[in-house]
Structures are given as C-alpha cells and as structure tokens.
Amino acid sequence: MGKRKFKVIFELDGWDVDSGLIELDQKVIDVVDDEWRSQLYDLHTPEEIAAHIGYNLILNKAKLTDLDGWADLTNDLARVIRWPNLDDFSVKAEEIE
C-alpha cells in the first residue's frame, strides 16, 4: 500500500492547538497485530498507531527505531513532514496532596 499521511493534532483542554503532518509506511502499521498488542500498546486503528508514533516523533523528537515495537524497522519508514508550532508551550509542575 506504500506511504500514508496523517495529521497529528495536539489538543489542550479539548481545543485543537496545532497539528503536524507525518508520513508512515504501511509496514509500520502492519507490525501491530494481536501478539504485538499483548506485549506493548493497545493500539488498533491506523489513526491510533499514527497518534502514538506522531507524538513521539514530534514531542520527544524520537526516531522510529527508538520506539518499542518498531526498533527492528528503519527510520525512513516514518517521518515528520510538517512540524507544529509548539514554541508557545511551557511545562510546569505543581505538587498536589
């Protein structure tokens, strides 16, 4: 089937903040089967797989081979086409009881 493109949407409190665009080779999606799910993540649809991979490629700046379950593939099978503008975000922590 070749390459598939997915819009990866980043939300904050239910609002779409920005989005990126990734491209996945069909091989990346085909890896996820029942055995894979039983050992790793409960991902079923191509969109769930793309959201998981897109999150890691974009926010963690990871490569495909850095991700559990895809380490035996090659990095050229997943890439970011368009990066979202997340420069305005900051991260903080507040201790709660």
pLDDT of residue 13: 76
Query: Between residues 92 and 33, which one has the greater pLDDT?
Result: 33
What are the strands of the beta sheet with 78-82, ordered from one edge?
Answer: 3-12, 15-25, 78-82
Mean pLDDT comparison of 14-23, 54-63, 82-91, highest-scoring range: 54-63
Q: What's the token pair of residue 43?
A: 């991902």
> Alpha-carbon distance 97 to 94, whole Å?
10
- Give yes or no for residue 97 having a pLDDT over 90: no
